[in-house]
Chain A
Amino acid sequence: MPNLMELKYQVSNEDFTRAGEASSDVKKKLKQLGVSPDVIRRVAIALYEGEINMVIHAYGGEITVTISEERITMTLADRGPGIPDIDKAMQAGFSTAPDNVRNLGFGAGMGLPNMKKNSDTIDISTEIGVGTTVVMTINL
Chain B
Amino acid sequence: MKVSDISKDGNFTLLTPTVSLDKDVDKLFCCDLLSIAMGKAPSGSCWVTVMSNVNTLAVATLTDVSCIVLAEGVTMDDTLKAKAASEDVAVFTTELPIYDAAKLIDSLR
Contact = CB atoms under 8 A, between A and B. Distances in A.
A105 interface: yes
B33 A27 contact: no
Contact of B33 (A16, A24, A52, A108): A108
Interface stretch (B51-59, B68-76, B98-106): B51-59
A108 B35 contact: yes
Interface stretch (A1-9, A68-76, A109-117, A119-127): A109-117
Contacts, number: 69
Interface in A89-131: 104-111, 114, 117-118
Contact of B35 (A37, A110, A117): A110
Q: Which label, helix, strand, loop or mixed, suits the secondary structure of the A interface?
A: helix
B38 interface: yes
Contacts of A82: none
A20 interface: yes
B63 A105 contact: no
A110 B41 CA distance: 14
A106 B35 contact: yes
A24 B53 CA distance: 16
Interface centre among B33, B37, B38, B56, by most A CB within 10 Å? B38
Contacts of A48: 38, 58-59, 62
Contact of A19 (B51, B55, B87): B55
Interface of A: 16-17, 19-20, 23-24, 27, 37, 41, 44-45, 48-49, 52, 104-111, 114, 117-118
What are the 7 closest A-B residue pairs judged by CB atoms, nearest first?
Answer: A20-B58, A105-B34, A108-B35, A110-B35, A44-B62, A114-B39, A105-B51
Given A37-B64, A105-B53, A105-B56, 6 more contacts: A16-B53, A16-B55, A20-B58, A44-B63, A52-B55, A105-B34
